[in-house]
Amino acid sequence: LSESNLKNKNVVITAGGTREAIDPVRYIGNNSSGKMGYALAQAAAYAGAHVTLISANSHQPKPNGVKLVPVTTAKEMQTAVEAEFAKTDVVIMAAAVADYRPEETFDHKIKKDSAESLEKITLVKNPDILATLGQQKQNQFLVGFAAETTELEAFAQTKLKAKNADMVIANDVSQAGIGFNSDENAVVVISADEAKVVLPKAPKTVLAQKLIELIATRI
């Protein structure tokens, strides 16, 4: 077996779903389990990379030989990713990052019948971590995911360009049994200069190995 191009490379992988607090007991979140990102982290570590796994709210077991950085919110994830970015060779953003957060976070639980109502919550936009990295990148290889429910490849192409990524891994999150919080996934890999690669439904651990091998050939 030939040695992986990822050997001794610094790889940052994000996983899980960010949570944006409304008050101490409520938040805006999503269904990401972290399984896809954790599987990628394990596969990258097996390929010999130095892996930092920035993980939002996942209950997955820590992969072997990986530095784990737990975060809660999108802003915390951005700070953690940016702290690593200058010395990073590859970034893989598998996390589901909340696009919006409440404008105000209450420091006490809002009571259902109190004058402070939660019937309307004003949201503000979160930073787009991947797009910001796309603007800053020097030699880093940037991999994003695209979670789509329609027009999978077209929207993935749009994200590749809009975020200045080198590769986008698109998954159809409307299909039962793949995508969020399942053990399996099915993806189409899009990049600017290469033909698309279709990886049919398989366990996330198997797909992660294939994706890491593919990334290793492209860096």
Task: Tell me which amino acid residue 150 is.
Answer: T
Q: Please answer whether residues 77 and 18 qualify as being in contact, where contact means their C-beta atoms are separated by less than 8 angstroms.
A: yes
Assign 3-class secondary structure to 72-140. Answer: CCHHHHHHHHHHHHCCCCEEEECCECCCEEECCCCCCCCCCCCCCCCCCCCEEECCCHHHHHHHHCCCC
Determine whether the annotation assigns residue 85 to a binding site.
no
Helix (H, G, I), strand (E, B) or coil at 152: helix
Q: Is 139 a catalytic residue?
A: no
Catalytic residue among 5, 8, 10, 30: 30
Nearer Cβ to ligand PMT (114/149):
149
Residue 85 phi/psi, 5-degree rounding, is -60, -45
Q: Contact between 66 and ligand PMT (CB under 6 A)?
A: no
Going residue by residue from 80 to 119, which x/- string records binding to ligand PMT, judged by CB under 6 A? -------------xxxxx-x--------------------
Task: Figure out which of the listed residues 10, 73, 88, 126 binds ligand PMT, where binding follows CB under 6 A.
Answer: 126
Going residue by residue from 157 to 196, which x/- string records binding to ligand PMT, judged by CB under 6 A? --x-----------x-x-----xxx---------------
Catalytic positions, please?
A: 30
Q: Binding site: which residues?
A: 99, 109, 127-130, 145, 159, 163
